């Protein structure tokens, strides 16, 4: 089966780094008869690596950036467990949850790993374990948060404030 997106709107994402496109791009099932393009955009800088999930979904004759969330973050290129910055790594699994009689599946993002403390992170030499679950539903062309349990990461804290998330 061949599947293409045809849209004439402006760019929906600026994914990629150093002039190169992202390499992790998949067509995913988001409903019984619905598909989306899932992009994992990985960026690196100053010893930190961050991966961002972007979902591109056809909606009302165009293509929407329906969700953007950080799904992995680490400082393996900069950390030094012998007295420098503490080493941390966290990730989220991405799961579409089929339900009866819905056009679009719910989305679960399950967090696990370690992270810097949310407050006073630069001064701390200790990491903390992080675990959590965020559930989102599709509404008016976007995935919106319906619940969140557990921790936010240091990077998530800024996103949560920007997007008024719980």
Determine the pLDDT at residue 97.
97
Determine the pLDDT at residue 124.
61
Residue span of the structural domain in which 135 resides: 24-163
Specify if 120 maps to a domain.
yes
Specify if 11 maps to a domain.
no
**Residue 6: φ, ψ to 5°:** -120, 115
Specify if 7 maps to a domain.
no
Determine the pLDDT at residue 93.
98
DSSP SS3 for 154: helix
Q: What is the pLDDT along the chain (166 residues), one digit of tens a residue?
A: 565 655 555 555 566 666 677 778 899 999 999 999 999 988 888 888 889 999 999 999 888 999 999 999 999 888 887 777 788 999 999 999 998 889 999 999 999 999 987 666 555 668 899 999 999 999 999 999 999 999 989 888 777 676 666 6
Specify if 50 maps to a domain.
yes
Tokens of 121: 């992170």
Task: Please check whether residue 7 is in contact with residue 62, taking contact to mean a CB–CB distance below 8 angstroms.
Answer: yes
Query: How many distinct structural domains can be found in the chain?
Result: 1
Determine the pLDDT at residue 86.
84
**pTM of the predicted model over 0.75:** yes
Task: Please check whether residue 22 is in contact with residue 39, taking contact to mean a CB–CB distance below 8 angstroms.
Answer: yes
Determine the pLDDT at residue 37.
94
Specify if 35 maps to a domain.
yes
Q: How far apart are CA 88 and CA 128, in angstroms?
A: 8
Specify if 57 maps to a domain.
yes
Specify if 15 maps to a domain.
no
Q: How far apart are CA 157 and CA 55, in angstroms?
A: 21
Task: Please check whether residue 52 is in contact with residue 74, taking contact to mean a CB–CB distance below 8 angstroms.
Answer: no
Place of tokens 């503490």: 86
Specify if 2 maps to a domain.
no
């Amino acid at each position: 089966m061949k599947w293409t997106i045809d849209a004439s709107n402006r760019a929906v994402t600026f994914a990629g780094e150093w002039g190169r496109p992202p390499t992790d791009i998949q067509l995913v099932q988001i409903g019984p008869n619905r598909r989306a393009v899932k992009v994992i955009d990985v960026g690196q800088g100053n010893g930190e690596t961050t991966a961002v999930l972007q979902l591109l979904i056809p909606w009302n004759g165009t293509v929407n950036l329906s969700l953007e969330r950080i799904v992995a973050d680490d400082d393996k290129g900069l950390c030094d467990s012998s007295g420098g910055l503490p080493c941390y790594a966290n990730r989220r699994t991405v799961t579409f949850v089929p339900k009866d009689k819905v056009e679009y599946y719910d989305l679960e993002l399950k967090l696990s790993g370690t992270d810097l403390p949310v407050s006073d992170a630069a001064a701390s030499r200790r990491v903390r374990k992080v675990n959590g679950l965020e559930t989102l539903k599709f509404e008016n062309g976007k995935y919106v948060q319906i619940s969140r349990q557990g921790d936010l990461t240091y990077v998530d804290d800024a996103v949560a404030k920007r997007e008024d998330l719980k």
